[in-house]
Amino acid sequence: MNFIYQLITSHAYLSFVVTFFYVLLSVCCAVHILLNKEDIKGAISWLGIVFLSPFIGSILYIFLGINRVRRKAVKLRKKGNILQKIPQDKLKAVVQQLPKQFVQYIAYGHNVYPQNFAAGNSIKILQNGTQAYPEMVESIKNAKREVLIESYIFDYDGETEKILNACKTALANGASVKILVDGIGIVGAGRRAIEPELKKISGLEYGIFLPPHLPFALPFVNMRNHRKIMIIDGDVSFFGGMNLALENTLTDDAKKGVQDITFKIEGPVVDQLSQVFEDDWEFTTGKNMHGYSKDLPEQSEGSVPARVIPDGPDNKQGKIELMVHGAINAAAEKIIIVTPYFLPESNILTSLEMAAMKGVEVEIIIPQKTDNTILNWAMEPNFAKLLERGVKIYRTPPPFDHSKFFVVDGASVFIGSANWDVRSFRLHFECNMELLCKETARELTLIVERKKSVSKSVGIKECEELNFFKRLRNNACRLLTPYY
């Protein structure tokens, strides 16, 4: 009897201890969620996970739900011509060419992120690696002072080997070369091979953003550096959403190829891109750097006003998402969205529906098949309501179209690395650029027309005719939207 009594009391004591620590841990996590999670749906989800999954929910929140990345404060800029607003005469000339509603939108954008427009830039559109890579290689070869490369994916293959060889030439010219790649983006078949190749190049400096050393990398698995920036000698840049890989040249290969667009940009806005690279470099390597763009005299390569908008999980509010939301609301005539993944939250979807309902022509161009089957399923439940409100959706055939840009009323253009999904808007480090340029908008609209000519228009009927099991599957996948 004494043994049984001891057994019962020991189990009761153990249960009390376990319950106490479960309640303590859950309450601590709940307090952190309530104080730090501004998104109501996200907060409710995490609270449910924490309390309904004893210990496991709290551990998941501790590793995946807490943003530990606190980037260094934005540095004081030293280059006056970038800090200053566009001179009043130039600003007036630009505004006169824009629809009236964009005057307010420009003020709104400055409140979202107080980076001023830099005047006097030139923009060249480069489609696929077949156009982009040769120009990149040539520019790097001719570098005399500095080459900065930042990419989410940087494979080691026949095409990227040309880029590395060009970097060797730049080093021989006396230029410094810095390469920054994401720790997750280079993981995969053949991708990690880029790091030993970088090590082999004498004089080249490189950094790996948050390398995936488990289990320490778990808190940062969602916080990837998705930016794609290349800067040569401080005044020429290649910027957009194109990664560095052979697949971007295989435009006739429906299975392995990837279509994409990048932009060659020259002018003072390159200094703003350089600042983004500097911050990422110093965060990743712990080393200070001084980009060459700051030492260049004031110059004008064209007539396009542009400004850079970096974003990431270290910000409480998603700047890129706010800019997208504001541009949709400012639209009076036409909205064009080209993106590989279309999984925004309900606030963006509602804005697009409202724009279409007030007579704005809204076109969304997405791939027929992405590189992720679950993403294909998750996107589809959003189609029916958009179509009912008058939004037009086109799905481009293979090869996979990774292009991303946003055009409003043929005047405002938004380019960069961000996709239209929660991961880009909230979880990744992204970088976009706002352009006020009718010519670039016109060229991109022509590209869209060519994409539409070979695309399939999504109809409301096909959405309604999906069988029960497919609708169930698609909606279940949509619930995971914040985690893609």
pLDDT of residue 283 exceeding 80: yes
pLDDT digits (tens, 9 = 90+) for 310-363: 998 877 678 999 999 999 999 999 999 999 999 998 999 999 999 999 999 999
Domain assignment present for 81: no
Q: What long-range pairs does 445-450 form, CB within 8 A, spacing at least 24? A: 445/336, 445/407, 445/410, 447/125, 447/127, 447/261, 448/336, 448/338, 448/363, 448/365, 448/407
Last residue of a domain, one of 65, 85, 101: 65
CA–CA distance, 396 with 374 (Å, rounded to integer): 18
pLDDT of residue 140 exceeding 50: yes
- Are the C-beta atoms of residues 194 and 180 closer than 8 Å to each other? no
Mean pLDDT of the 109-136 span: 94
Q: What is the CA radius of gyration of the chain?
A: 24
* Domain match, 267 and 214 both: yes
- Residue 413 tokens read as 């253009």
For residue 132, the enclosing domain spans: 119-302
CA–CA distance, 446 with 127 (Å, rounded to integer): 13
- Mean per-residue pLDDT over the chain, rounded: 87
- Compare 439 and 466 and report the one with higher pLDDT: 439
* Domain match, 213 and 292 both: yes
Number of domains in the chain: 3
CA–CA distance, 290 with 310 (Å, rounded to integer): 19
The dihedral region occupied by 361, where left means phi > 0, alpha psi between -120 and 50, and beta the remainder, is beta
Phi and psi dihedrals of 8, rounded to 5? -65, -45
Give me the count of residues in the chain: 484
Domain assignment present for 93: no
pLDDT digits (tens, 9 = 90+) for 215-233: 545 555 667 899 999 999 9
CA–CA distance, 482 with 42 (Å, rounded to integer): 9
Mean pLDDT of the 363-390 span: 93
* Domain match, 24 and 124 both: no
* Domain match, 440 and 368 both: yes
pLDDT for res 462 = 87
- Are the C-beta atoms of residues 366 and 340 closer than 8 Å to each other? yes
SS3 annotation, 401-450: ECCCEEEECCCEEEEECCCEEHHHHHHCEEEEEEEECHHHHHHHHHHHHH
pLDDT of residue 99 exceeding 90: no
Q: What long-range pairs does 94-101 form, CB within 8 A, spacing at least 24? A: 94/119, 94/305, 94/436, 97/411, 97/438, 98/411, 98/412, 98/436, 99/332, 99/333, 99/409, 99/411, 101/330, 101/331, 101/332, 101/409
* Domain match, 340 and 462 both: yes
Q: Which residue has the tokens 């260049």?
A: 296
- Are the C-beta atoms of residues 356 and 330 closer than 8 Å to each other? no
pLDDT for res 464 = 84
Q: What is the CATH number of the domain that holds 178?
A: 3.30.870.10
Domain assignment present for 102: no
pLDDT for res 17 = 77
Mean pLDDT of the 446-454 span: 97
* Domain match, 256 and 382 both: no
* Domain match, 153 and 287 both: yes
* Domain match, 297 and 335 both: no
pTM for the full predicted model? 0.86
pLDDT digits (tens, 9 = 90+) for 27-65: 999 999 888 877 777 788 788 888 888 888 888 888 777
Show the CA angle centred on residue 385, arms to residues 382 and 389, nearest 5°: 135
- Compare 296 and 207 and report the one with higher pLDDT: 207
- Are the C-beta atoms of residues 149 and 175 closer than 8 Å to each other? no
* Domain match, 146 and 295 both: yes
Give 84's pLDDT tier (boundaries 50, 70, 90).
very low
* Domain match, 281 and 142 both: yes
* Domain match, 436 and 398 both: yes
pLDDT for res 102 = 78
Mean pLDDT of the 152-172 span: 96
- Using DSSP, state whether 21 is helix, strand or coil: helix
pLDDT for res 279 = 92
State CA 246 to chain mean position distance: 21
pLDDT for res 484 = 52
* Domain match, 326 and 354 both: yes
